[in-house]
Amino acid sequence: LVTGESRCTGARAQEMLNSEPALRRKFRLMVTKPICHSDEIVVMDWLRENTSPDDVVLASLTVGQYVPAISGNTAFLAHWAQTVEFYDKEERVARFFDEATSDEARRDTVCAFGVDYVFYGAAERALGDYDLGSSPWLTEAFSSSQVQLFRVDSQTACQGG
């Protein structure tokens, strides 16, 4: 809560809003949900501890925006202004998780951009029903109760296997 030159946060801001109806009407107190689910953070922590910052992680835009900050890895798709070829990559991610997409198209994406890991949580499942475990070039590297992380076997993927 900012009023003129003074700034209040937390309990003091809530106290001010509760005690002064005019302020309560003038200012809207925003309450937000957590950005990342705890299971997503667990997987990103594993990435930070077990992979190189140069490793590329393919995930939905929702998750990808937090990959560099939490895991230290390179995100395939993240903030629009900081992702080269953002719109192409956004479409590739949507197609990657769509079960109607050919395996060849998925392999083209991981090989063309050097993807090392594929993140598979709620945001990615919302993009499609592709069963990542059925792919011979993806191996589960780590999982939590709601998120799976797959390692790309680039040798198999990029040689047509």
Predicted local confidence at residue 52, as pLDDT: 97
Confidence band, pLDDT 50/70/90 cuts, at residue 8: very low
Which tens digit of pLDDT belongs to each residue from 30-80? 444 456 788 899 999 999 999 999 999 999 999 999 999 999 999 999 988
Cross-strand partners of 2 = 7
Q: Rounded CA gap, 125 and 24, in Å? A: 40
> Letter for the amino acid at 147?
V
Other beta carbons within 10 angstroms of residue 68's beta carbon come to 17
Q: Specify the higher pLDDT residue, 14 or 102.
A: 102
Q: Specify the higher pLDDT residue, 158 or 26.
A: 158
Q: Rounded CA gap, 1 and 10, in Å? A: 9
Q: Rounded CA gap, 160 and 69, in Å? A: 33
Is residue 33 classed as helix, strand or coil in its secondary structure? coil
Predicted local confidence at residue 152, as pLDDT: 98
Which tens digit of pLDDT belongs to each residue from 117-160? 999 999 999 999 999 999 999 999 999 999 999 999 999 999 86
